[in-house]
Amino acid sequence: MSLPPEKASELKQLIHQQLSKMDVHGRIREILAETIREELAPDQQHLSTEDLIKALRRRGIIDDVMKELHFVTDSVEQELPSSPKQPICFDRQSTLKKTNIDPTRRYLYLQVLGGKAFLEHLQEPEPLPGQVCSTFTLCLHYRNQRFRSKPVPCACEPDFHDGFLLEVHRESLGDGTRMADSTTMLSISDPIHMVLIKTDIFGETTLVASYFLEWRSVLGSENGVTSLTVELMGVGVDKFVTYLELKNIFFNFKLALERQKTAEKERLFLVYAKQWWREYLQIRPSHNSRLVKIFAQDENGINRPVCSYVKPLRAGRLLDTPRQAARFVNVLGYERAPVIGGGGKQEQWCTLLAFLCRNKGDCEDHANLLCSLLLGYGLEAFVCVGTKAKGVPHAWVMTCGTDGTITFWESLTGHRYIHKPTNPDEPPVAEQPKPLYPYRTIGCVFNHQMFLGNCQPSDAVETCVFDLNDESKWKPMSEEAIKSVCAPGATTSLPPFPPLCASTIDASVTSNEIEMQLRLLVSEHRKDLGLTTVWEDQLSYLLSPALASYEFERTTSISAGNEEFQDAIRRAVPDGHTFKGFPIHFVYRNARRAFATCLRSPFCEEIICCRGDQVRLAVRVRVFTYPESACAVWIMFACKYRSVL
């Protein structure tokens, strides 16, 4: 590869700085003098290059230089206009696996040196070798590159020692292959999003902290190396202060003007939003009680326009269809934000990275992600904010077809509903379509470009007309105003959207592990009841098509393969015998927790505790993996026995 003269000169300067930092030149001079004094024969006039290289290698100089270049790649599924670059994670203890560093590109090296003042774990004893304990994991996202640190035991001063090599590149086609100059890097306003996750001994995850690191403001030292302490505020009801020590390598820029522009844009949008709300209330006084959500607080308590939580998101080759995307969002765990002392629902909409790293969130988090994915597939999608039965606030997704069909997508279950409005002016004897969806009222709809408040006489979903272009039914916000604060790059405070990561779960291995654990749990449970357990492997295998059919139906809403399964079971069960089966679905991989849930079902307990003649038991587990290591776990317990009257 040939380089332009100015690039070659810059690369030489970088190499020279590294060699000077290690004092390689001084060590070479010492070894040269020593070699001439000890090894040069009286009749020799000079040393050859080969002799000098042998002496340097013998004394470990070359090895010391190479040790500074140990990088490990960590692949992330991403789809960019130009050829994607793989993010690189640096570990001082690792061996050289693969180096993918382009000397013509700019890189930012971020090193985490440790944590302090995690006071929640002040009294926690140091774990013994091999002991299972709670862990912290630090997740990072920067310009379509995602990183994850090694899990470290939870402690007052957790021992984080990881480094991350971030590529500072331009996403536009053509510019991505050129080395970014100072002007280009000054225009890159994307922060480094850091999310701290705690995983307990049962595998449950908790969002500890979320922080946006402005890397340009801390890169000003003469040698291009700056150390700083990041203050992480706890999220939700567990607010506390912790610290991470970081070291950053790059340049320093003044950001006052940029921050001032961002603050001015946000101020103007707030003024406009207040004016829009006053106009909305003047239409009808009852509008004051409708769920019209213009701003929402993120995990750090920062108010952001709701439109900023949605953006067209392409899943690359990880998800093939919109319905598969809905299934993926559905298998992410559901958890309401905790509330201290009751009194209502906690206000917290997570940024996408925090939601994905935790692998669970509230209904708004699920709806925002599903809407973003459907927009990525080219659909006209909106997040709907309203209520379910008993006035419980809820969020779901709506798509508008080119033929006017309105489809509701429930992000927590993956179910789809076609909306057919009822006419309240029709006489009582007239037949009206009966709604199948659980939604009662709707206050507003939004996506990344539009925000519309429902100004129809009634906010009941069943009577709503979703003609979004009719301003007598839906009051729109100015698209230009929304674009000024929600468009990509509009403000520096806008959270960046990370790409989805491929699953790291081996479906076959995990299925076998859970199945073996369940067999052991069933055998122990029956032993406590004084019953013997005989497993039939062939019957267990015959349950596989049913589990695959159940997942296929959840993904496509199409039932297939049931006839073959029933025929195989009829052949496997002799005359005079009875077969019973119980399928159940989970979104976690904890076998003991799943078994306890199954026992609460009288149908499943009847199978597990089956008594009779020639009782044979079977269990089959099938794990279906999705991006972000989310998974759908299907379990079927079955038994066959001779019927005795």
Print the domain residue range for 115. 107-171+178-250
Domain boundary among 228, 250, 272: 250
- 52 in any annotated domain: yes
Q: Mark whether 463 and 577 lie in a shared domain.
A: no
DSSP 297-317: E-TTS-EEEGGGG------TT
Beta bridge partners of 474: 454
Q: How far apart are the C-alpha atoms of 197 and 213, rounded to whole Å?
A: 17
Q: Which residues pair with 162 in a beta bridge?
A: 112
Tokens at 360, concatenated: 């669970």
From 229, 250, 271, the end of a domain falls on: 250
Domain-embedded: residue 182: yes
Judgement on whether residues 237 and 265 belong to the same structural domain of the protein: no
Q: Is 632 helix (H, G, I), strand (E, B) or coil?
A: strand
How many Å apart are CA 626 and CA 554, to the nearest integer?
14
Residue of 1, 212, 220, 258 lying closest to 105 (CA atoms): 1
Q: Please give the distance of CA 329 from its chain centroid, rounded to a whole number.
A: 11
Q: Does residue 88 sit within a domain?
A: no
Chain-centre distance for alpha carbon 523: 37
Residues of the chain with pLDDT below 70 are 1-29, 31-33, 35-54, 56-57, 59-100, 102, 121-124, 128, 130, 169-186, 217-226, 234-257, 338-346, 424-433, 492-493, 644-645
Between the alpha carbon of residue 395 and those of residues 328, 371, 376, 454, 511, the distances in Å are: 17, 11, 19, 15, 33
Which CATH number does the domain housing residue 450 bear?
3.10.620
Q: How far is CA 211 from the centre of its chain?
A: 15
User: Do 268 and 243 share a structural domain?
Assistant: no
140 and 124 in a single domain? The answer is yes
163: nearest Cα among 75, 85, 93, 89 = 89
Give yes or no: residues 322 and 454 share one domain.
yes
Beta strands in 370-509 (DSSP E): 381-387, 393-400, 406-409, 416-419, 441-446, 451-454, 474-476
Two tokens, residue 624: 């279906």
Per-residue model confidence (pLDDT) at position 434? 76
Amino acid found at 411: S
- Looking at residue 597, which CATH number applies to its domain? 3.40.33.10
Same domain, 330 and 479: yes
In this prediction, residue 643 carries a pLDDT of 75
How far is CA 441 from each of CA 119, 385, 474, rounded to the nearest angstrom? 44, 9, 14
461, part of any domain:
yes
Name the token pair of 628.
Answer: 């972000």
Q: How far apart are CA 489 and CA 191, in angstroms?
A: 11
Same domain, 243 and 277: no
377 and 480 in a single domain? The answer is: yes
Single residue among 224, 250, 276 that ends a domain in this structure: 250
Is 165 in the same domain as 239?
A: yes
What total number of domains does the chain contain?
A: 4
Q: Give the separation between CA 279 and CA 300, rounded to whole angstroms.
A: 30
pTM, entire model: 0.76
Q: Residue 89 falls within a domain, yes or no?
A: no
Residue 561, pLDDT score: 75
The verdict on residue 400 lying in a domain is yes
540 within some domain = yes
Say what the pLDDT of residue 83 is: 36
Same domain, residue pair 344 and 375: yes
Predicted local distance difference test score (pLDDT) of residue 369 = 96
**Residue 73 resides in a domain:** no
Beta pairing partners, 642: 577, 613
- The answer on 292 and 222 residing in a single domain is no
Here the CATH number for the domain that contains residue 206 is: 2.60.40.150
Q: Nearest 5°: CA angle at 545, between 542 and 548?
A: 140
In what helix (H) or strand (E) does residue 165 lie, and over which residues does it extend?
strand 162-168
- Evaluate whether 194 touches 142 at the Cβ level (below 8 Å): no
Residue 522 and residue 546 in one domain: yes
- Chain-centroid distance of CA 439 in Å reads 27
Q: How far apart are CA 365 and CA 306, in angstroms?
A: 11
Residue 206: exposure state from Cβ atoms within 10 A (0-12, 13-18, ≥19): middle
